[in-house]
Amino acid sequence: MMTPEDMKYVAAEAHRIAGLAIRPNQACLVEHRLAPLARAEGFETISAMLGSIRRDADPRLAKAAVESLACRESWFFRDRKPFDSFRQDILPVLARARGTERKIRIWCAGAGNGQEAYSLAMILEEEAERLGDIAVEIVATDFCARAIDRGRAGAFSQFDVQRGLSIQRLIHHFEQSGKDWRISAGIRRRVDFQQHNLLDASAALGMFDMILCRNVISAMTPDARKTVLTRLGRHLADDGYLILGEGETAAGAVDMFRSVRGKRGLYEKAAGDIAQAA
Amino acid sequence: MKTCLVVDDSRVIRKVARRILEDLQFECDEAADGASALDKCRLSMPDAILLDWNMPVMNGLDFMQALRSEPSGDQPVVVFCTTENDMGRITEALRAGADEYIMKPFDSEIIQSKFEEVGLIA
């Protein structure tokens, strides 16, 4: 059992390292997330592991613990609408706007196990004819190293590939690999996975035409949320788009974004073609 | 209310599937093999059919091929739901006229997701 002191310590570290907001009533969730790590690291209890982190000021283990807390579950084409929006509205607009550069860059910030990035990559594959020679680069980052490893491997369980994925897409884009289903090499090649903490400097990532940051900031404290949104804004092209998760909003946090009318969760920096058409 | 015929030789599977589908606002009927499913369809075509593959008397694939050649037999949305999880089997079912395909074991999220894919649920 974790003590209230343990919880306080975990909440403080989760906030310091990843901007996560952990409430005192989330002890069950925290225990559930930390138990596998404590076992893997050879500790009898979670308290023993936390004690060791504090005593030895072990930054590796502290980070691993917070990573376990930050790992999130997702599924293919989650919430559907953002992906419809990407295919129907955003992609054609960006393809026109980048007609000279012939290059579009997309950032999945907080990409989890890769379902979001791979969903976009499947759409790109399906739209390949319309895109012609325009190169689309997808950078998928997550704070959780295990998520990045899993994303890179591109292997998903039978359960994973039946949530959000039509049977046609499973047949077209996956191959059977033992008990798992592995997304095709062609789709994997489209996504570049990198471990990255959204609170850290990120200049090397460069500029993007679309950023998805879904179901990430809602788990953060207001100050971390503001830091992250400001950072995302700096990486977004002036005519680019930001997509947040269902029920998440950029309002109040920063004034760099304007919501696109009629498209919940979709934001732009400057007035683009989608807003004008709406 | 949309109707769904649950075809499976396991009473337990039928019961589980029926409960999930009723939660999704479907009116359900059950059949334990392809032949009795075909009889029920001839009386009244359901909107959807959740279909097992391996069953006695008439298996799911034979049932679906018979169904598709019936008058109005192209109307029901057929969702296979089977332990057959081989790519070859899946493509065989789709070529024979299946609309979606669920690999067992399933849960309510999978049924909901697959029924959304074929437009049975908004």
Strands (E), A3-148: 103-109, 135-142
B101 CB within 8 Å of a chain A CB: yes
The pLDDT of residue A275 is: 47
Check whether B66 has a pLDDT greater than 50.
yes
* Per-position pLDDT tens, chain A of length 278: 789 999 999 999 999 999 999 998 999 999 999 999 999 999 999 999 999 999 888 889 999 999 999 988 899 999 999 999 999 999 999 999 999 999 999 999 999 999 999 999 999 999 999 999 999 999 999 999 999 999 999 999 999 999 999 999 999 999 999 999 999 999 999 999 999 999 998 889 999 999 999 999 999 999 999 999 999 999 999 999 999 998 899 876 778 898 888 888 899 985 444 544 44
B119 CB within 8 Å of a chain A CB: no
Tokens of A269: 């920096």
Under 8 Å between Cβ of A182 and A78: no
The pLDDT of residue A274 is: 53
- Residues 81-100 on B with a CB inside 8 Å of A are 85-87, 90-91, 94, 100
The pLDDT of residue A43 is: 95
Task: Name the average pLDDT for chain B.
Answer: 97
Q: Which of A158, A163, A166 sits opposite B103 (nearest CB)?
A: A158
Query: In angstroms, rounded to a whole number, what is the distance separating the alpha carbons of residues A211 and A188?
Result: 19
Under 8 Å between Cβ of B55 and B11: no
The pLDDT of residue A114 is: 97
Q: Do B114 and A175 touch (CB under 8 A)?
A: no
CA distance B26 to chain A (A): 20
B75 CB within 8 Å of a chain A CB: no
Residue of chain A whose Cα is closest to the Cα of B98: A167
Q: Taking CB atoms and an 8 Å cutoff, what residues of chain A touch B103?
A: 158, 162
Contacts of B84 (CB under 8 A, 6+ apart): B53, B54, B90, B103
Residue B17, judged by CB atoms within 10 A of its CB (0-12, 13-18, 19+), counts as buried
Query: In angstroms, rounded to a whole number, what is the distance separating the alpha carbons of residues A94 and A214?
Result: 20
Q: Which of B87, B102, B114 sits opposite A176 (nearest CB)?
A: B87
Tokens of A40: 């893997």
Query: Which domains are delineated in chain A?
Result: 4-70 (1.10.155), 81-269 (3.40.50.150)
The pLDDT of residue A73 is: 85
Query: In angstroms, rounded to a whole number, what is the distance separating the alpha carbons of residues A257 and A216?
Result: 17
Under 8 Å between Cβ of B33 and B56: yes
Mean pLDDT, rounded, for B98-105: 97
Mean pLDDT, rounded, for B10-29: 98
The pLDDT of residue A109 is: 97
Strands (E), B13-113: 26-31, 48-51, 77-82, 100-103
Query: Which domains are delineated in chain B?
Result: 2-115 (3.40.50.2300)
Q: Do B87 and A175 touch (CB under 8 A)?
A: yes
CA distance B65 to chain A (A): 19
Instruction: Give pTM, 2 decimals.
Output: 0.93
CA distance B121 to chain A (A): 13
Count of CB atoms situated within 10 Å of the CB of A81: 15
CA distance B99 to chain A (A): 9
B57 CB within 8 Å of a chain A CB: no
ipTM: 0.94
The pLDDT of residue B110 is: 97
Residue of chain B whose Cα is closest to the Cα of A158: B103
